[in-house]
């Protein structure tokens, strides 16, 4: 079965129009979550633009489906969200990222931060902070090595709960990044109220940043905004040298994208970016 088609259509919210394939995949997801040996985190490096040093890595989930092969998150995260399975899956992600990072920290790579993506449903669940605290304790990872990436849309809705939850995560020592920044069409006023650490400029702006004046202006504005609020700023989706040069010229702090590396399996990441670069 070819699943590389239109994922949005495939997982439309109209339950009654579910196809046999969707129900099948949901069953598979349910089973996979009980076995827990089909999911895998890939890691994509993040670099400091000025020093060109590795600063950390984003974890990105893949599902090694026994029949369908390696599935990217777009093929099953929406389904997991729709069915509520995201709670278990999201917990698996945080645990796996913390376990891996703790191994790396224990091996002497002590200046790095791993990030995990949080879906809105996961963020809004009551016991998220306790879950994160438990996982940190259980894995032994010092909280400062963990960053959670939240999307801007999540942050601007339900502000009261969000404010409290982010505050409690910060108290644990976890770092918070706003993913896909600039796509939320929100007033920027909320930024001063939320104790976040990092803005991640969405790749839709970075894509044609050197040829599209509007996207160049937005990118420069986000960098300036981050500087004046004393936040870190990272650009994602950097695929070419001209984009990297633009970002360096305009003082973007950190950078991530295919130009440097695709997301890699842990062992490959270690060989390419840890063993050779740091030690
Ligand atoms: P995202 O958080 O915005 O992650 C960035 C996506 O862009 C990743 O796709 C990454 O592989 C891809 N990417 C990185 N560099 C480049 C580049 O230079 N050019 C282009 N065109 N793409 C680049 P991926 O791994 O397929 O993930 C897609 C989305 O799925 C993520 O978007 C995130 O929203 C979600 N996701 C991934 N892993 C998890 C997870 O563990 N939990 C949850 N809740 N969501 C996840
Ligand atoms: Ca992300
Ligand atoms: Ca993003
Ligand atoms: Ca995105």
> Read out DSSP for 112-142?
-EEEEE--HHHHTSTTHHHHHHHHHHHHT--
**Ligand 4 center to 236 CA (angstroms):** 9
Residues 201 and 219 sit within 8 Å (Cβ to Cβ): yes
Query: Which atom of ligand 1 sits closest to the CA of residue 238?
Result: 18
Length of the chain: 279
Residues 157 and 167 sit within 8 Å (Cβ to Cβ): no
What ipTM goes with this model?
0.98
Which residues in the chain show pLDDT less than 70? Answer: 1-17, 158, 185-187, 276-279
**Ligand 4 center to 202 CA (angstroms):** 7
Residue of minimum CA distance from atom 21 in ligand 1: 237
The pLDDT of residue 132:
98
**Ligand 1 center to 264 CA (angstroms):** 12
How many Å apart are CA 123 and CA 90, to the nearest integer?
Answer: 9
What DSSP character marks residue 168? H
How many Å apart are CA 274 and CA 266, to the nearest integer?
Answer: 10
Q: Which of 38, 45, 60, 135 to mutate to test the pocket of ligand 1 (most atoms within 8 A of CB)?
A: 60
Q: Which residues fall within 8 angstroms of residue 193, CB to CB, at 6 or more apart?
A: 159, 163
Q: Going by DSSP bridges, is the β-strand pair 39-48/54-65 parallel, antiparallel, or unpaired?
A: antiparallel
How many Å apart are CA 34 and CA 15, to the nearest integer?
Answer: 23
Indicate if the alpha-carbon torsion angle 74, 79, 81, 87 is positive or negative: negative
The pLDDT of residue 210:
97
Residues 173 and 144 sit within 8 Å (Cβ to Cβ): yes
Ligand 1 binding site (Cβ under 6 Å of any ligand atom): 44, 60-61, 72-74, 77, 90, 93, 117-119, 149, 179-180, 203, 236-239, 257-258, 263
Question: Which tokens sit at 253?
Answer: 């702090």
Other residues' Cβ atoms within 10 Å of the Cβ of residue 180: 19
**Ligand 2 center to 243 CA (angstroms):** 19
The pLDDT of residue 19:
81
How many Å apart are CA 223 and CA 214, to the nearest integer?
Answer: 14
Residue 229 CA, chain-centre distance (Å), reads 22
Question: Which tokens sit at 146?
Answer: 């963990």
**Ligand 4 center to 96 CA (angstroms):** 21
Residue 252: exposure state from Cβ atoms within 10 A (0-12, 13-18, ≥19):
buried
Closest CA to 93 of 82, 80, 104: 80
Residue of minimum CA distance from atom 7 in ligand 1: 237
Residue owning tokens 């895998």: 40
**Which residues have a beta carbon within 5 Å of ligand 2, which is an ion?**
117, 149, 179
The neighbouring-strand residues paired with 54 are 47
Closest CA to 265 of 43, 45, 112, 37: 43
């Amino acid at each position: 079965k070819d699943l590389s088609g239109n994922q949005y259509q495939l997982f439309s919210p109209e339950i009654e129009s579910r196809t046999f394939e969707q129900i099948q995949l949901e069953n598979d997801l349910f089973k996979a979550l009980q076995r827990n040996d089909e999911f895998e985190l890939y890691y994509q490096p993040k670099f400091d633009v000025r020093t060109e040093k590795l600063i950390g890595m984003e974890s990105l989930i893949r599902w090694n489906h026994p029949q369908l092969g390696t599935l990217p998150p777009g093929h099953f995260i929406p389904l997991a969200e729709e069915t509520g399975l995201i709670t278990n899956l999201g917990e698996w992600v945080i645990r796996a990222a913390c376990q891996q990072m703790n191994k790396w920290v224990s091996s002497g790579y002590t200046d790095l931060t791993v990030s995990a993506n949080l879906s809105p449903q996961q963020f809004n669940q009551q016991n998220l902070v306790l879950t994160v605290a438990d996982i940190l304790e259980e894995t032994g990872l010092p909280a400062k090595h963990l960053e959670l990436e939240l999307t801007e849309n999540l942050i601007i809705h339900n502000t009261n709960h969000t404010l409290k939850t982010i505050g409690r995560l910060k108290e644990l020592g976890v770092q918070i990044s706003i993913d896909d920044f600039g796509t939320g069409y929100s007033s920027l006023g909320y930024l001063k109220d939320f104790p976040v650490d990092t803005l991640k400029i969405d790749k839709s702006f970075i894509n044609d940043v050197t040829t599209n004046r509007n996207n160049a202006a937005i990118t420069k504005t986000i960098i300036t905004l981050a500087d004046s609020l004393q936040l870190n700023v990272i650009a994602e989706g950097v695929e070419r040298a001209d984009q990297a040069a633009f970002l360096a010229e305009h003082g973007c702090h950190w950078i991530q994208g295919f130009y440097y590396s695709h997301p890699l399996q842990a062992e490959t990441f270690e060989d390419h970016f840890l063993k050779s670069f740091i030690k």
